[in-house]
Amino acid sequence: MSSPRATRWGILATGGIAKTFVKDVLVDPNTRDVSNVKHVIAAVASSTSEKRAKDFIIDTGCPSMTRAYGSYLELVQDSEVDIVYVATPHSQHYQQSLMCLEAGKHVLCEKPMAVNVQEAEALIAKARSKQLFLMQALWTRYLPVSKYVEDVVKSGAIGTVHRCFADTSIAMHPEKEFASGEHRMVNRDLAGGALLDLGPYSLSWLFQAAKASGAGIDPVTVTAAVKPYQTGVDETTTILVVMPRSAERGGDLHGIATTSMRVSMDPNGIGSAGPCVRIQGEEGEIQVFPPSYRPTKTRLVFADGKVEDKDWLYPGPGKDSGWFNGFGEMNPEGEGHGMFWEADEAAVAMCEGRLEGSRESLDEVVAMMKVMDAATILRFFAQFRMPSLSFMPSKPANYPRHSFLPCP
């Protein structure tokens, strides 16, 4: 039996999502039955100080050999880094991913990979021209529960899928928590708002269901309603996506993606509000229970009255280990957050010579960005209280030219 191949990671940024990712990556792969790859945190970089990077290394339990840098440029110049995990605010993803690619590094970039379709396409073109791996870190797509849902749709167990609802909403109490207006969630200069931060999870469930049922994801027709926050970012966004499919295969599929930082998909934190994702077919439906980004329960409800529940556990050091991961220790003791599966995918892809992820292609990243671009245009119209409009994102005239549209 051959030894697992080591993937040497460079971590670009030291915020909460980077901490969660690194702690997950350091979990023994054998806890999730992975034996062909292993992960090494080779280096960590902060944009402000080497000390912050060193503190991060200690806090996350990285090995003492992990190098600390006080600039991102130093990280990408490290010859012992194979792939860089970009974990900065959205507005910086394009610039920093491009810097990594130009330095010859493979890239796993936090979602959204870019803030508009032009940026996404430019990154993809650069990666392909240099034969480098590039993947959007939409980690939910690589969870076993996500693969299970896709397989159920493909199996035809619930019949032809005609409609999908997906909600990713977290009650953040923005006036209280983000009173200064500088936090990335409400800061327009940092690509704030619910859509870019939470929306990709909802859209991912829609796109996954559409692809598994034979519907197209590009081009699509988009209608959106947007409620702006006082800083100009979107507070709540609702998107209707019409995904084309031939009449012989059931006709168009309707997808409804919702996201908000004002209300919650799971108000009491124990799932009492019901499913956050519903994939509806002629013979039944799949329900996914919150949170949509890290589900722990699914339910199949069939037209004949049969119901199948399934719980999803997340591996890790285990109960009584004293180990926690997730923002604010939100997960049970000993459970990983689930981000190790996307890291495994990146490592395996690099071993196999693939240049993108197997569960979400780069073309799908562009298709999703087109939908969010269309909603961004509608955010602009919402400032003028104009009626809702529909867009065909496949038509260049409908692309927003800039990441952020001016408020009147």
Spatial CA neighbour of 250 closest among 355, 180, 164:
164
Looking at the fold, whether 46 and 173 belong to one and the same domain comes out as no
Instruction: Quote the domain boundaries for residue 68.
Output: 5-140
Residue 20 included in any domain:
yes
Question: Are 199 and 277 in a shared domain?
Answer: yes
Q: How many CB atoms lie within 10 A of CB 224?
A: 26
| Predicted pLDDT of residue 146 | 99
Please identify, among 140, 161, 179, the residue that sits at the C-terminal boundary of a domain.
140
pLDDT recorded at residue 396: 38
Q: Which own/partner pairs from 62-68 qualify as long-range (CB within 8 Å, at least 24 positions apart)?
A: 62/22, 62/26, 66/41, 66/42, 67/42, 67/43, 68/43, 68/44
pLDDT of residue 406: 31
Statement to judge: residues 136 and 155 lie in one domain: no
* 275 and 147 co-located in one domain: yes
Instruction: Indicate whether 206 and 323 sit together in one domain.
Output: yes
Q: Are residues 175 and 322 in the same domain?
A: yes
42 close to 75: Cβ distance less than 8 angstroms: no
Q: Contact 209/279 with Cβ under 8 angstroms?
A: yes
We report the CATH number of the domain holding residue 219 as: 3.30.360.10
C-alpha to C-alpha distance for 147 and 134, rounded to whole angstroms: 21
Domain-terminating residue out of 105, 140, 175: 140
| Mean pLDDT, the chain cut into blocks of 10 residues (408 residues total) | 90 97 97 96 97 98 98 98 98 97 99 96 98 99 98 98 98 95 93 96 98 96 93 95 97 98 95 97 99 98 98 95 85 95 98 97 97 82 48 46 32
Q: Is residue 346 part of a domain?
A: no
Q: Are residues 83 and 202 in the same domain?
A: no
Q: What total of structural domains would you count in the chain?
A: 2
Residues 54 and 173 placed together within one structural domain of the fold:
no
Instruction: Give the burial string for 111-123 (b: 16+ CB within 10 Å, else e).
Output: bbbbbbbbbbeeb
Q: What is the predicted pLDDT for the residue at 401?
A: 32
- CA 167, 173, 178: angle at the middle one, nearest 5? 115
- Stretch (H or E) spanning 174: helix 174-177
Assign residue 33 the CATH number of its domain: 3.40.50.720
Judge whether 350 lies within some domain: no
211 domain-assigned: yes
Examine the domain organization and report whether 147 and 167 are in the same domain: yes
Query: What's the pLDDT score for residue 282?
Result: 98
Are residues 83 and 166 part of one domain?
no
Same domain, 257 and 292: yes
Domain end residue (candidates: 115, 140, 165): 140
Same domain, 135 and 71: yes
Q: What is the DSSP letter of 15?
A: S
What three-state secondary structure class fits 175?
A: helix
Is residue 98 within 8 A of residue 126, CB to CB? The reply is yes
